[in-house]
Structure 1
Amino acid sequence: MLDMKNERWLMEKYNALSDAERGEYALISLKIKRFRVFNRLYNRELGNALVEKVYEALQEWLQPGEYAAQIHLNYFNLLVRISKNYEEIFQYVIRLNQQIRDMPDERFHGKVFCGFGIYHLTREPVDFYIAQYNADVCRSECAERDFKNSHFDVYGQSYHDPVLRDYDLEQIIQPALQRGDLQLYLQPKVDLRTGEVTRAEALIRWIDPQRGMIPVSDFLPMLESTGLIDRVDLHTFEVVCRTINRWLRVYNKKIQISVNLSHCMFNYRYYFDDYRKIHEKYRTPKECIEFELLESIVLNQVERLRQVVDELHNYGFTCSLDDFGSGFSSYSVLSNADLSMLKIDSSLFQNESNPREKVLIRHIVQSAHELGIMVVAEGVETQKYVDYLRQLGCDFLQGFVFYRPMPVEEFEERFVRGNEKVRFS
């Protein structure tokens, strides 16, 4: 009977490493794929033989000062010296996989596939079970993606633990909100008849004291996937209410600001209670606030859309549909909800010479106007589109051709305190 070392034995070897040695090693989590299926197709006796053969192959692979142990059935851990260079890791795993796959036993030759998770140790002591978890999690996340091939991932390189990432984000988001790191930016909406700016969309920019401005793509998807976006949405709404009130008090000027309603709040039955509490605190003129609903979250939820829009309208707010034309646009959304504004997505302003694109834009503008809905063209970057949209009678334009998103202070200086307007040629 083969004397296979166990987890306790490997832990002792792990704990015996000095700080200097530890940085040279990696803990590898290795599992034989479809082991239960193998046992059912053949028998447990042959399954046990397979485990022993894999263990023998691992022992032959190890160099002096390297260790392997069976943790459970078809699950092994290896403590080996391995480079941190990804290309060298790649070649290492190919050779290790070949060592197992091509072992000289006709019963198993070419039939064994494994999953590998690799966690590089650091000089700073890390508990054995934490290292084991890190190796396990990056192996198991993709363990079933391909039955007929082996796979591997490297913790911190090809795999990043979403649990830790989301936990870290949750720990820092509230302090960031309290410090004011998540700042309100406004993108002007230009009136295509007068050139005036009396409307804007509220956007969030994260300006970290150490890292500077963090790209939106680095944090917004995580906020949405974790549900933390609702805190940011409510924070933004409160800042918008305060800002509108201050402009009224200081300049006696009304600016309408639209705020985005995320899918988390849209699908939360009692979402409006939180907004109502904030609004009742500030009593901001209701006509100065508009809620933008993303087309991607309202499609196939027409009844829910009607409920949300009715609730907002009954309270006194207006609603717009954002990103219309970005994907599977449905005119049923327009016919079933009392929307006041439609925003044509930037994807329809990519090719000035495309006559089909112009046909679509024209029909969207005409259809919206016939339904009593105003239209904003967003993401416009060239003068030719400006001219065409003005010719169609489009109401507003939001795009880099005129203005990029800007801090509240700049918006105030240019459009609230001042009367800057666009002059059309």
Structure 2
Amino acid sequence: MKNEAWLKERYEALTPAERPHYSLISVKLKRFRTINQRFGWAVGDELIRSVYQILAAQLGPGEYLAQIHLAYFNLLARLPSDYDDLFHRIIQINTAIRDMPDERFFGNIFTGFGIYPLPAEPVDFYTAQYRADVARFECPESKFRNSHFEIYGVTLHDDGLRSFDLLQTLQPALDAGHIQLYLQPKVELATGRIAGAEALVRWLDPQRGMIPLAEFMPQLEKNGLIETLDLYMFEQVCKRLCHWQRTYGKTLKISVNLSGEMFNYRYYFKDYKRIHGQYPAPKECIEFELLESIVLNQVDRVREVTQELEEYGFSYSLDDFGSGYSSFSVLTNTRFSALKIDRSLFQDECNFRERVLVRHIVQMAHELGIATVAEGVETRDYVEYLKRLGCEYIQGFVFYRPMPADEFERRFLLGGETAPV
């Protein structure tokens, strides 16, 4: 059987014109340790030789195979760029292994494939191998599926690389002011006045423009950097409120999001108190939003967090209520100032079930003495329906999109603009 060094030579011999037509494929038999324990090492060796022969039989002209270690192989193959054609070729290889003519293994040998399409620019062999491996073993569902394959940069992206890049770029972006405070107004339905706003983060890169939240928020939450961003946004809110009070003698309530990372950190609040001590904004103007999905089944922790907030003088609301994890037990034990009804319940104003659910949520909140905020409303029909229900506030595109804090200040704090309710 050919080895890694031999395959590396073949890889490095590819010309610039050939390279974009090849992929390096990481192939590994799944549950090989179990097979060894059940049948013995000698049978395991037989299986490896059989799989190598099957893979070799699947090669076309100018394609190469090597055993890297035990049941781990690399293929240097010409794969079609069309996803459906690629899919069928991988299925063909997998089926040949799974259905090998050996009664001991027939239908029971499953394989993981990681595919790294080679770019036009040179990439050294070990980097290509690493990326193919990442595609194979970092697939979230790989442990729960039999055979599977992923394509690096297409069906799977390197989260480790993303995390590293974020680590290197987040603080410089904060220092340069590229990460900015945006505010989305909360409209009082009875009057149209702006009763407050939610603080939202926007990353404005000089080269790329506005970076979508989906490109950085999940990674910040995974690698712990969300704490840095949370505290930065809270600081911006405190500074803005202090500026409004000092310069104009005016204030409005701004809500800030408390991430799961901070919620579950026992000593989270000391950092918020430290920042508020530096920028002592009116406490009644700061509200913390707790995601429903975070507080689910954490009644004791919710009580601890909200007690700290309340004792210090901040208010708190329950965000995304009705998004799929509704925990009514939290409402029985916690005095939330507001309940934000999730945008998923405002998708179709003609949907009878949707309206029934919204009506009962508003009614329940009122009976508990909790104000309601309808989030993500985009149609006038829903505005009229929510007014009839007595919903207090709307935060949605039907009135205003999130905007830079300076624009919010100019239009609403100084200009006194109201919404056409």
TM-score clears 0.5: yes
**Deviation at residue 113 of structure 1 after TM alignment:** 3.6
Name whichever of 278-287 and 247-256 sits farther off. 247-256
> Secondary structure at the residue paired with 1:165?
helix
> Is 1:259–2:240 an aligned residue pair?
no
Map 1:78-89 → 2, pairs under 5 A: 78-89=75-86
Helix, strand or coil for the counterpart of 1:307?
A: helix
Unaligned 5+ runs, structure 2? none
Per-residue deviation, 1:101: 4.9
Matched, 1:162 2:159: yes
Alignment correspondent of 2:28:
31
Residue 152 in 1 paired to residue 149 in 2? yes
State whether residues 306 and 334 of structure 2, in contact with CA within 8 Å, keep that contact through their aligned partners in structure 1: yes
Relative distance call for 1:384 and 1:75 in structure 2 (3 A) is closer
Q: How far is the alpha carbon of 1:231 from its aligned partner?
A: 1.6
Q: 2:215 aligns with which of 215, 218, 222?
A: 218
Q: Deviations over 1:41-94 (max 9, x none)?
A: 434333322222322333344345433222222222222333444333223323
Deviation digits for residues 261-313 of structure 1 (CA, Å, limit 9, x no counterpart): 11111111111111111111111111111111111111211111111111111
Alignment of 1:338-349 (within 5 A): 338-349=335-346
Query: Offset at 1:232?
Result: 1.5
Does the CA contact (< 8 Å) of 1:198 and 1:254 recur in 2? Answer: no
Please identify, of 94-103 and 379-388, the stretch whose mean Cα deviation from structure 2 is larger.
Answer: 94-103
Matched, 1:57 2:73: no
In structure 2, how many angstroms separate the alpha carbons of the residues matched to 1:191 and 1:99? Answer: 65
* Equivalent of residue 308 in structure 1, options 302, 305, 309: 305
Please identify, of 103-112 and 396-405, the stretch whose mean Cα deviation from structure 2 is larger: 103-112
Distance in 2, matches of 1:34 and 1:95, equals 20
Q: 1:201 to 1:12 in 2, by over 3 A?
A: same
SS of residue in 1 equivalent to 2:131? helix
Taking a change above 3 Å as real, the CA distance of residues 94 and 346 of structure 1, as seen in their structure-2 partners, is closer
Distance 2:87 2:354 in 1: 46
Residue 388 of structure 2 is aligned to residue 385 of structure 1: no
- Give the match for residue 7 of structure 1: 4
Distance 1:6 1:370 in 2: 72
Instruction: Report deviation, 1:354.
Output: 4.9
Structure 1 pair 25–234 and aligned structure 2 pair: CA distance change class (3 A): same
- Evaluate the alpha carbon distance shift between residue 68 and residue 254 of structure 1 in structure 2; reply closer, same or farther with a 3 A threshold: same
Is residue 412 from structure 1 mapped to residue 379 from structure 2 by the alignment?
no
Matched, 1:240 2:237: yes
Distance in 2 of aligned mates of 1:80 and 1:392 = 63
Q: Tell me which structure has the larger Cα radius of gyration.
A: 1
In 2, Cα distance between the equivalents of 1:301 and 1:106?
A: 51
User: May I ask how many residue pairs the two structures share in their alignment?
Assistant: 419
Distance 1:327 1:67, change over 3 A: closer
Superposed CA deviations along residues 89-143 of structure 1, whole A, max 9, x for unmatched, are 2233234345545666676666544322222333444332222222222223355
Q: Separation in 2 of the partners of 1:102 and 1:351? A: 49
The amino acid of 2:167's aligned partner reads: E
* 1:207 and 2:204 correspond: yes
Is residue 2:180 matched to residue 1:183?
yes
- For 1:282, the equivalent position in structure 2 comes to 279
1:38 counterpart letter in structure 2: I
> Are the structure 2 counterparts of residues 403 and 18 from structure 1 closer, same or farther at C-alpha, using a change threshold of 3 Å?
closer
* Structure 1 residue aligned with 2:268: 271
User: What SS class does the counterpart of residue 207 from structure 2 fall into?
Assistant: coil
Tell me the C-alpha RMSD between the 2 structures: 2.6
Partner of 2:370: 373
CA deviation map 1:369-414 (0-9, x unaligned) = 3433222222223334333433343322222222222221221121
The change in CA–CA distance for 1:14 and 1:260 in structure 2 (over 3 A counts) is: same
TM-score by length of 1: 0.89
| Identity within the alignment, % | 61
Alignment CA distance shift 1:110-1:211 (3 Å): same
Change (3 A) 1:85 1:275: same
Residues 213-248 of structure 1, C-alpha deviation per residue, up to 9 Å, x if partnerless? 223333323322333222221111111111112222
Distance across 2 between alignment mates of 1:96 and 1:355: 50
